[in-house]
Amino acid sequence: MSFDETALDHGRGPRGGAFDHPITTRLKLRHLHLLVALDDHRKLNRAATELRLSQPAASKMLAEIEKIVGVSLFDRLPRGIEPTWYGEALIRRTRTVLSELGQAGEEIAALRSGTGGSASIGAVMAPAVEMLTAAVTAARARLKGLQVTIDVETSDVLVGRLLASKLDFVISRIPAGFDPEPFDYEEIGAETLCMMVRRDHPLAELASVRPSDLADREWLMQPRGSLIRRSVETMLLRHGLPAPSRVVASASILMTLVMTGRTDAIAPLPVPVAEIFLKTGDYRTLTLAEPIAIAPYGLLRVKGRPLSPAARILFDLVREQITGPA
């Protein structure tokens, strides 16, 4: 069988295949930038302003895109626009294309200058403390000018950014509601929570803090729906106690330190994170009668998406901490 026949047999290649689809032959970079801007702003005039276009020009360009694709990509609503299912599919892949092109430019610039390239990674709190510092230090020993961006967030935020090609890889969980199929996942371990308070907190001297002792207290917790918050709420509900109602919701470590240091707020934190602040002597952890363990986290990347050389080095260094040197 010739090359052309093989390609046709698999629905790709130089004749009648994926590379001949109007999307790949007629869409231009300016079309892709408009799709992303429309998704970001959900208003045609704001997307046009970002791209320095007039609104009629942006509207005409969107019509061009939809004609090329052959379907409606956005629903026009009274207060803006919303992507259709077709639009969501194209925008998701468009973000990947633009991200890959941006990374290609950065890699070329890094190779020309010898600076070492860049990587963007994300992690939930405990591995950010335990794993990333060592990995970044080791990576910089190889690439002196390595530029690293680290997002410390909840798993749902990180996985969303990973899918949007804003992060190279993350250390997190696959949150409920996310399809696990697009990911390569390697489990690292579970987190154990502790309750951090100021050193003279009313509960600090108790030899054993029972769930009932935690009822009707002030709390500093991550936003509603986060795994740490759900774990605390579930523990209390299991003992017939109401979920905390006197809550300041924040994922900020600075706010956590301020609120726990100046009020009677209790902050549930992964043990490795709390241990950093305990060294100051200003904080303590409560001795819980019932320890709280939460679901394991792991090393997560999108299947089939290549990593830049810098991101690959960091990924391998983190992986070595899980499995040991190859």
Strands 183-198 and 267-270: antiparallel
pLDDT for res 111? 61
Whether the full predicted model's pTM is greater than 0.95, yes or no, is: no
Q: What residue ranges of the chain are covered by domains with CATH 3.40.190.290?
A: 191-293
Yes or no: say if 188 and 130 are a contact pair by the CB < 8 Å rule. Answer: no
What's the CATH number of domain 191-293, 3.30.70.1290, 3.40.190.290, 3.40.50.150, 3.30.420.270? 3.40.190.290
Fold of 113-189+296-323: D-Maltodextrin-Binding Protein; domain 2 (3.40.190)
Instruction: Please tell me the chain's helix, strand, coil percentages from 3-state DSSP, rounded to the nearest 5.
Output: 50, 20, 30
Report H helices in the chain.
3-9, 22-26, 29-41, 44-50, 55-69, 85-113, 125-127, 133-142, 155-163, 227-238, 253-262, 271-278, 309-323
Contacts (Cβ under 8 Å, ≥6 apart) of 34: 47, 51, 53, 58, 61, 62, 65
**Structure tokens belonging to residue 154:** 């909840």
The boundaries of every CATH 3.40.190.10 domain in the chain are 113-189+296-323
C-alpha triplet 115, 121, 114: angle, nearest 5°: 5
Phi, psi (rounded to 5 degrees) for 220 = -120, 110
Q: Give bridge partners of residue 269 from the DSSP assignment.
A: 194
Confirm or reject CATH 1.10.10.10 for domain 3-94, answering yes or no: yes
For tokens 């379907």, what's the residue? 71
- Give the long-range contacts of residues 72-75, CB within 8 A, separation 24 or more: 73/35, 74/38
CA dist 163 and 157 (Å) reads 10
Q: What is the pLDDT of residue 77?
A: 93
Nearest to 77 by CA among 91, 69, 87: 87
pLDDT in tens for each of the 326 residues of the chain? 333 333 333 333 444 444 456 787 889 999 999 999 999 999 999 999 999 999 999 999 999 999 999 999 999 999 999 999 999 999 998 998 888 788 777 767 766 665 667 889 999 887 777 788 888 888 888 887 788 999 988 899 999 999 988 899 999 999 888 889 999 999 988 888 999 999 999 999 999 999 999 999 999 999 888 889 999 999 999 999 999 999 999 988 899 999 999 999 999 999 989 999 999 999 999 999 988 888 889 999 999 888 888 889 899 998 888 776 65
The pLDDT value given to residue 14: 40
Per-residue model confidence (pLDDT) at position 115: 60
* Collapsed DSSP state (helix, strand, coil) of residue 152: strand
- Specify the pLDDT at position 8: 31
300 has which bridge partners?
A: 170, 185
CATH 1.10.10.10 domain extents, the chain: 3-94
Residues linked to residue 185 through DSSP beta bridges, in sequence order: 300
Hey, how many other C-beta atoms are within 10 angstroms of the C-beta on 310? 26
116: nearest Cα among 307, 319, 313: 313
Q: Which two tokens stand for residue 196?
A: 């951090």
pLDDT of residue 304: 87
